[in-house]
Amino acid sequence: MSILDYFSAILLAGGVFFSFTGAIGLFRFPDFFTRVHAASVTDTIGVILIIAGLLLQTSFDLNIIKLLLILAILLLTSPTASHALAKSARHGGLLTLAESNRSNDR
């Protein structure tokens, strides 16, 4: 194993870790907005790390460009999607946990 492979492995492991935490968060967090937050971790840092790890695995050819493009597109769309989700939820009248607690207290 070359040094690149070690780096790659670390990056991939990091990506897997963040994806995994994102998934756990999706299940464990208490309300919609925090869950979206957890999910977007998977979409952003998890994906970045995994693609970076993969970049180190490929030889220098067309695949690198493809991977970079994928990364670019994902970085563009995933946050947008999270944003749209959250905003729609808000638009639809969904309250955060804190807000709903407050309204319950009142």
Partner 1 sequence: MTEVLIDLVLLGMLAMTALRVIFLKDLFAVVMLFSIFSFVSALIFINLDAVDVAFTEAAVGAGISTVLMLGTIALTGRTEKKNSHSSILHLVVVCVTGAALIYGTMDMPPFGNADNPIHQHVAPRYIEDSPKEVGLPNIVTSVLASYRGFDTLGETVVVFAAMIGVLSLLGTARPTNKRATPESGLAKHRVLHVVAKIIIPFIILFALYVQFHGDYGPGGGFQAGVIAAAALILYALVFGASFAHRIVSPRQLEVFAPLGVLLYASVGLVGMIKGANFLDYNVLASTAAAGQHYGIIIIELGVGLTVFAAMLGLFYAFSNQVERSNVQ
The residues that touch partner 1, with contacts defined as CB under 8 A, are 73, 76-77, 80, 83-84, 87-88, 91
How far apart, in whole angstroms, are the C-alpha atoms of residue 73 and residue 77? 6
Min dist CB 86 to partner 1, Å, is: 11
Q: Which is nearer to partner 1, 17 or 98 (CB)?
A: 17
Nearer to partner 1, 77 or 100 (CB): 77
Residue 94 φ then ψ, to 5°: -80, 135
Task: Report d(CA 26, CA 62) in Å as an integer.
Answer: 35
- Report, in Å, the least distance between residue 66 CB and partner 1: 10
Q: How far is the CB of 106 from partner 1 (least distance, A)?
A: 29
Nearer to partner 1, 45 or 85 (CB): 85
Euclidean distance between CA atoms 24 and 38, whole angstroms? 8
Separation between Cα atoms, residue 21 and residue 34, nearest integer Å? 13
